[in-house]
Each structure stands twice: as structure tokens, then as C-alpha cells.
Homo-oligomer: A and B are copies of this chain.
Amino acid sequence: MADKKKVEAITSRDVDFAQWYTDIVKKAELMDYSSIKGFMVIKPAGYAIWENIQKEMDRRFKETGVENVYMPMLIPESLLQKEKDHVEGFAPEVAWVTYGGGEELQERLCVRPTSETLFCDFYAKDVHSYRDLPRLYNQWCSVVRWEKETRPFLRSREFLWQEGHTVHATAEEAEERTIQMLNLYADFCEEVLAIPVIKGQKTDKEKFAGAVSTYTIEALMHDGKALQSGTSHNFGDGFARAFGMQFTDKDNQLKYMHQTSWGTTTRLIGALIMVHGDDNGLVLPPRVAPTQVMIIPVAAHKPGVMEKAEEIRAKLAKSFSVKLDDTDKSPGYKFAECEMRGIPVRVEIGPRDIENNVAVLVRRDTGEKTETSLDDIEETVAKLLETIQKEMLERARAHRDAHTYTAVNYEEFKETIETKPGFVKAMWCGDRACEDKIKEDLAATSRCMPFEQEQISDVCVCCGKPAKKMVYWGRAY
């Protein structure tokens, strides 16, 4: 019978979270390091997750009227420099192309770190009248930022993302779109990735280079560190003034456009790992899992087993993404491999099961085993996948809530940050000096000023002056 031999043990999550993370990305075959420092190879198991994220997010974008486009991957230096905050924010971390076709270029071109400047350049020429507005464009592409420290999916010199860039006739409409996309991201994370998020606004210190306001969704990883998981920016008319993006309004006046941008990245794969994974490997929510069900025959050499397994596969394939492991590995090895890859449900089927017209269903998230009649296996699996999706979100939310603390004075704040990994809700006076001090002292940052404000105390947790906002603080990736 099946000896449950491990694929190869990984570091325990509680012993060394960073090493556990690295083990998972490698052993679940999500990525590999490339020969170019800081650049990674996304392998089929990792890319298939990204494809599922793309597919569902893109569908949601399009429902709100967004259209996809493609902009050049290179940006002339003069274009990057047009908006002064933006160039200050990005110039230090770009890669420069200086030669093309054997000749030195007259002007160097940077590989896009983000494409605001290209969209501005385009909209300035392409939009003339209020009738041309709004423009709701998005692109799926890769970008390059020359990071010093890199980690797979979380921070790398190249990453895949989507960047939406919209222009509007009024400030109100731009603000509305900024919030709409943040809500879309939050719903996507909760409904598809089973990751609960805090929605809020970034402080001026933490906002995007060139934005009037940046909104964010912040998720809490299993180790108590925060992960910024998506951002949505309102640029006001700042870029529009720098790029001369004007249109003729209904009243026949020439006006500046109002602009937004919003993005999510392959970082979401890192979030999936760090929110749901365990010591046996990846745990994927059914809605984003490339393979939702794996069928593993037990005693596959016995007559009728493979045939029945294939019959079940064909039946389930009508409704789910399902695979049959018909390799000659041992069942135990297959079980472990299936766990490492985070496949939500595995179906075990052997001679005795067939005799009894049943199969065993095993949940990846809880390990729970149940028996199901083969007659209604389709229905049972459908319900089970829904239950898993729902309970994974509930567990992640419970974990986050259990690791969200409050602090009313600096002593309490310091102790909490240092001894209890998680979010700390605390009041803030609005001064950057306090943010700087907290970062310096405690290596913690303001994650966001949440939309759902609470009055925890009247004074700033850092300086004791009158408080303006309740802020989520934490150490972050």
C-alpha cells in the first residue's frame, strides 16, 4: 500500500518563514532563478496562477468599460522627465537603453518602470473634446525596476502587472474611478484569492510619485507582516499640466484632463503563498487554482481501477479543472506532490472504493477526508470547492483579526510592534516626522488610513499632539 513518502520536506513555516517561502516557490515549481540577477523565470505552475488572475480580473475590468491597449516598452528620457515628482521617484531605479542597432542613441530610453508618461503623451495627442472622454485604458505587460534586494514574486527587477490609466473631464469622475478600481481590487482579492484586505489611503510619505492621492489594499501575511496588494492613484491634473493634456469642454473652454492609474502585479502570487500556505506546501483557493481536482488511483494496476479513474476524470472535467495522475509514482508520492502544489481537492479511488461505488475526497486546506458516492460525485465536489473557498477566506480573516492590535501610547505601540507581529491600529497627528521616527525606531510604516476610521484615542501615538487619523501600522514586505 501507499507509503506516504514526502516529495521532499520543506522548512517549517514557524521555524523560518523566509526559508519556508523560498522552499515553496521552488518545490511547488512556481518559479526559478535566472542567470540575470534579480530576474526570474515563471514556470508553468506559477504562470497558470497568473493566467487565472488575469482572466478573472480582466473580465471585471471590462465590465466597468475598461479597454486593453499596448504602449511601447521604452520611454525617452525627456518624456520621463516631464513631471518632476514622477522622475524623482523613478529615475534612480530604471534601466537605460543606450545603444540600438549597433549605434549609440541620441537620447537614451528607459525600460518602462510604469507607463504614466506614455499614456499622457498619447492622451495629449488623441483626446480633443469632452466627447472623447472618459478614456479607460489598461495594459498587461512587464516592467523593470532596478531593485537592490529581490525576492521571488514580492520584489524583483522585472515583474508582470496590469496598469490602468484613465482620463476624465472632471475631478469628481476621476476620484470616483480611483475608488471604483480600488473596490474592484478588494472584491477580487476576497472573492477569488480568499484574501481579506484593508482599504484605505496612503499618507503623503507613502503615496505614488506624482499622485495627489494613492489608495491601497493591504493584506496581512501569515507571519504578521503586511503586503501592499494593489494601489489606485488619483493624479488630479498634475500630469495633464506637465504634458499639456487639454480638451474642449461642453462650455467650449479648454480644460485640463483629470487622471487616474491603478495596478496589481505578480506579487499577488506571493500573497497567495504567504496567506494560505502551510508546512506541506502551497494551498490554493479553488477559484484561482489551475488544477482544482486531482484524481489519484490507488492500486492502479488492479483491473478496472484506471478505467474508473478516467471515467471520474471525464465526468468531473465537464465542470472543473481536473487532472488524473496516471504516472508510475507511488500513491503516497502523488499525495505529497498534490499537496505541495496546493491542489484544492484530491480524489482517491481504489479497488475497494470501486466495489462500494464510492471515492475518497481529501481537502487540501484542512486535510479532511470524506467519502462520496460516485453517483453524485460532481455535485459533492462542487459543494466542497465552494466550502473550501469560503472557509479559506474566513480563516484568513480570523487570522488577520487575531493579529490586529491597537495602541494608544508610544510604549504600548513599540511593544506591540516588536513582540506581536501584525497590524497595529493607532492614531496619528498627520506629521511626516512621526512616520519617519516610527520607521527609524521600529522598522514599521503607515500601511494606510483606512476608509473605516475608528477613534482609538484623541492624540497621536507618537508625539501626543491632537490626532487627525487612525492609521494601520505594520512591518511590511
Binding site for B on A (CB under 8 A): 32, 34-36, 39-44, 47-48, 50-51, 67-76, 79, 92-102, 108-109, 111, 118, 121-122, 125-126, 137, 141-142, 144, 146-148, 157-158, 160
- Given contacts A99-B96, A100-B96, A101-B92, is CB(A73)–CB(B142) below 8 Å? yes
- Which residue of B is nearest A159, CB measured? B70
Can you pick out 18 interface pairs between chain A and chain B where the beta carbons lie within 8 Å of each other? A32-B122, A32-B126, A34-B72, A34-B122, A36-B75, A36-B76, A41-B71, A41-B118, A42-B70, A70-B142, A72-B158, A74-B95, A74-B111, A94-B101, A96-B97, A96-B100, A97-B98, A111-B111
A42 to B125, CA, bound (A): 15
A47 to B70, CA, bound (A): 7
Minimum distance in angstroms from A89 CB to a CB of chain B: 14
Once the chains bind, are A36 and B95 in contact (CB under 8 Å)?
Answer: no
- Given contacts A34-B122, A67-B44, A111-B111, is CB(A39)–CB(B72) below 8 Å? yes
Which B residues are CB-close (under 8 A) to A93? Answer: 101-102
Once the chains bind, are A98 and B101 in contact (CB under 8 Å)?
Answer: no
A125 to B26, CA, bound (A): 14
Cβ-defined partner of A101 (8 Å) among B50, B71, B97, B146: B146
Once the chains bind, are A71 and B34 in contact (CB under 8 Å)?
Answer: yes
A141 to B98, CA, bound (A): 22
Shortest 4 CB-CB distances between A and B: which pairs?
A101-B146, A39-B72, A44-B67, A42-B70
Once the chains bind, are B39 and A74 in contact (CB under 8 Å)?
Answer: yes
Once the chains bind, are B68 and A41 in contact (CB under 8 Å)?
Answer: no
Cβ-defined partner of A121 (8 Å) among B34, B108, B122: B34
A93 to B97, CA, bound (A): 13
Which B residues are CB-close (under 8 A) to A122? Answer: 32, 34, 41
Most chain B CB within 10 A, of A95, A109, A142, A148, is at: A95
A89 to B364, CA, bound (A): 50
- Which residue of B is nearest A103, CB measured? B146
Which B residues are CB-close (under 8 A) to A48? Answer: 67-68
Once the chains bind, are B96 and A98 in contact (CB under 8 Å)?
Answer: yes
Once the chains bind, are B36 and A109 in contact (CB under 8 Å)?
Answer: yes
Minimum distance in angstroms from A453 CB to a CB of chain B: 38
Once the chains bind, are B72 and A44 in contact (CB under 8 Å)?
Answer: no
